[in-house]
């Protein structure tokens, strides 16, 4: 059906509708008109909604198409930065894998720390025969400082020797020495402990590294066998006492000192004045006394006459090659050769275990040995209680 044009509607009291199916016209009442109007409005609204949806779809599709065409025409590369198939921790399976990886890393880290702190920390365990290795590294001093700190402390080394001999399965000991020498008192303490080990029937073998000179050679001479490399620096048999004279400096600075002392030699070696003739003579006597003892110990340890040793003891160093020719060492070899020799001297016939008693480890460097702090406190208190100038007054007495 169709409405006739508005001009007819305005001029007529009745509205006629043409029925296209039979071509006849019939009048329409107001109720029929209102019903038809409502139906028409509903149909119009439906069409408008459909057109709006189509328009939105068309707009979105056209924009995407236009953008794609623009990017293609501009030849701008588009990289997909999200890999939907990549493994991750977002899903259940991925979370389990991530947790497994984290747990494995924690186990590896924990095991590594355990090895660093404990396994290599010089523990001795009961079992088959063993060869103990003790490191003597750095300048020799008295006191208790962990190995690896640049000094060879007499108490730390003596304690290591005691720990080694406390186990009956330790049949021999190797001293791995890499030291230029140091304190005569420190070397004396170590030699005394070595003799205790030998009294128990346990052989001690020395393996020299870069150097084993002066006081380090002093302790080497007391052992049962010495091995070195041809280029090792050793010897330097002798003693020196070093004093520092800063008197001219203090004089230039206008600094004066008043010293109250109980005896003539009490302030011997202070840096603000030079030694007197009597003090120089006294220092020479002390040095020669220590030197004579040094020579005697080397002669006894190396089975040489005193005169033979004294001829070599002018303070010079010797290479390992020269030392072997002079009888100051027994043979050439590295640490592992020395370990084999120690096992042989210890009567070990079967397989044996090598234990490193005081090898430098992270735990020893961080925490030291058990009584290190206590010993250092006692030494400091003792020095301060008797003479605050003691160290500078004595100068450096070196073997």
* Active site amino acids: 214, 266
Quickly list DSSP for 346-363. Answer: TT--S--EEEESS---HH
The pair of structure tokens assigned to 356 is 């490193």
Look at strands 25-28 and 15-18 and give their pairing.
antiparallel
The whole-angstrom separation of Cα 349 and Cα 46 is 106
3-state class of 121 per DSSP?
coil
Phi, psi of 182 (to 5 degrees): 155, -135
The pair of structure tokens assigned to 18 is 């043409």
The pair of structure tokens assigned to 144 is 């208790």
- Closest alpha carbon to 275 in 394, 399, 383: 394
The whole-angstrom separation of Cα 282 and Cα 266 is 12
3-state class of 2 per DSSP?
strand
User: Secondary structure of the chain: what % helix, strand, coil (to 5)?
Assistant: 50, 15, 35
- CA distances to 260, 270, 394 from 390, rounded to whole Å, are 15, 9, 6
The pair of structure tokens assigned to 305 is 């006459």
Residues 319 and 177: beta-carbon distance below 8 Å: no
First to last CA, the chain: 130
């Amino acid at each position: 059906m169709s409405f006739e044009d508005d001009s007819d509607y305005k001029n007529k009291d009745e509205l006629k509708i043409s029925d296209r199916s039979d071509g006849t016209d019939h009048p329409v009442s107001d109720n029929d008109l209102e019903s038809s109007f409502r139906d028409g409005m509903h149909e119009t609204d439906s069409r408008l909604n459909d057109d709006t949806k189509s328009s939105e779809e068309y707009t979105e599709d056209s924009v995407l198409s236009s953008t794609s065409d623009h990017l293609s025409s501009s030849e701008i590369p588009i990289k997909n930065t999200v890999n939907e198939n990549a493994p991750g921790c977002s899903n259940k399976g991925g979370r389990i894998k991530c947790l497994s990886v984290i747990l494995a890393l924690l186990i590896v880290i924990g095991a590594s720390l355990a090895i660093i702190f404990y396994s290599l920390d010089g523990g001795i365990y009961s079992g088959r025969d063993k060869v103990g290795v003790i490191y003597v590294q750095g300048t020799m001093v008295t006191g208790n400082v962990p190995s690896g700190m640049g000094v060879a402390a007499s108490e730390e080394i003596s304690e290591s020797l005691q720990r080694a001999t406390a186990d009956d399965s330790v049949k021999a000991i190797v001293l791995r020495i890499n030291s230029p020498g140091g304190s005569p008192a420190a070397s004396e303490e170590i030699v005394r402990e070595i003799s205790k080990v030998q009294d128990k029937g346990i052989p001690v073998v020395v393996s020299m590294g870069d150097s084993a000179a002066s006081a380090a050679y002093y302790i080497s001479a007391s052992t049962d066998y010495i091995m070195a490399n041809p280029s090792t620096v050793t010897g330097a048999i002798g003693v020196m006492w070093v004093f520092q004279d800063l008197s001219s400096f203090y004089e230039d600075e206008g600094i004066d000192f008043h010293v109250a002392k109980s005896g003539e030699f009490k302030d011997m070696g202070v840096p603000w004045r030079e030694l007197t003739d009597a003090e120089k003579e006294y220092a020479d006597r002390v040095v020669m006394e220590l030197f004579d003892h040094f020579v005697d110990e080397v002669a006894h340890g190396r089975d040489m006459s005193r005169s033979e040793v004294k001829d070599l003891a002018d303070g010079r160093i010797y290479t390992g090659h020269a030392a072997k020719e002079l009888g100051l060492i027994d043979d050439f070899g590295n640490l592992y050769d020395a370990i084999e020799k120690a096992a042989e001297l210890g009567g070990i016939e079967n397989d044996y275990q090598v234990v490193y008693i005081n090898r430098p480890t992270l735990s020893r460097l961080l925490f030291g040995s058990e009584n290190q702090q206590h010993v250092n406190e006692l030494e400091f208190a003792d020095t301060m209680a008797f003479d605050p100038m003691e160290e500078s007054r004595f100068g450096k007495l070196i073997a």
